[in-house]
Amino acid sequence: MAARSVKNLATGPRYFQDALDQMDDIGVGSLPIVLISGFFIGAVMVLQTGSQFTRFGQAALTGDIVAIALVRELGPTLTGILVAGRCSSGIASELGSMLVTEQVDAMRAMGTDPSRKLITPRVLATVLMLPLLTALNDFVGLLGGCVASVFSLRLGAVEFWTRAIKALDFADLMQGFTKPMVYGFILATVGCYKGLNVRGGTQGVGRATTQAVVLASVLIIAADLFLTKLALYLGDKLF
């Protein structure tokens, strides 16, 4: 199913309007939870790391550590899990309801491929939107870290941002914006698979929704290990 959703992009018909609608729902709809969570995560990281650096008189290093941790690891992974909780469940429940009410069978009867109409637009929208959400999460997280460092550690905002930006290089950005594309593919395909394989009527829709969130979150965390190892290897070889 996942391979077919990608293969559909090479041939017509293509449902671009459906993809745009899904981009609005997944991307814009997920903004509040991503931005609010990112701000407080960045602030908490500064409080935790800054308290340790202060003991050794190196509080200025807080901006470096927070920037690297957010861009490389926490930003992509937490954004993926947050969007999985919101969108994998939504995709599974929406497609599951369509399956239970026989709308999917009606599509097939009218000659419409459910894979092209239902799966491919959701996968494409999620893969494109998650890196953008991650970028916003990283920026707002650094903003929250800056606020916490100014009021808690008495660091200057200019010093914090200068060290945070200088600490990042191209390998960090490559790692931070490649992971969300994989996470988006995982959470979209898991949601679609669980939704289109509902069994047991309306009760099955509820079970599929729960299973989609759990499975997508676990797969994102598991994929993070292998992606991190691959990114560190390529970073050493190429950059």
- CA dist 187 to 64, 82, 227, 236, Å? 31, 11, 16, 29
**pLDDT tens digits, 148-185:** 888 888 888 888 888 888 888 888 888 888 999 999 99
Which residues are CB-neighbours of 175 under 8 A, at least 6 positions away? 71, 72, 227, 228, 231, 232, 235
User: Mean pLDDT, the chain, as a whole number?
Assistant: 87
CB of 78 closer than 8 Å to CB of 134: no
**Four-CA torsion 216, 218, 224, 229, nearest 10 degrees:** -130
If you average pLDDT over residues 72-89, what whole number do you get? 90
pLDDT exceeds cutoff 80 at 237: no
End-to-end distance of the chain based on CA atoms, in angstroms? 35
Q: What is the pLDDT of residue 239?
A: 56
Per-domain boundaries in the chain: 17-238
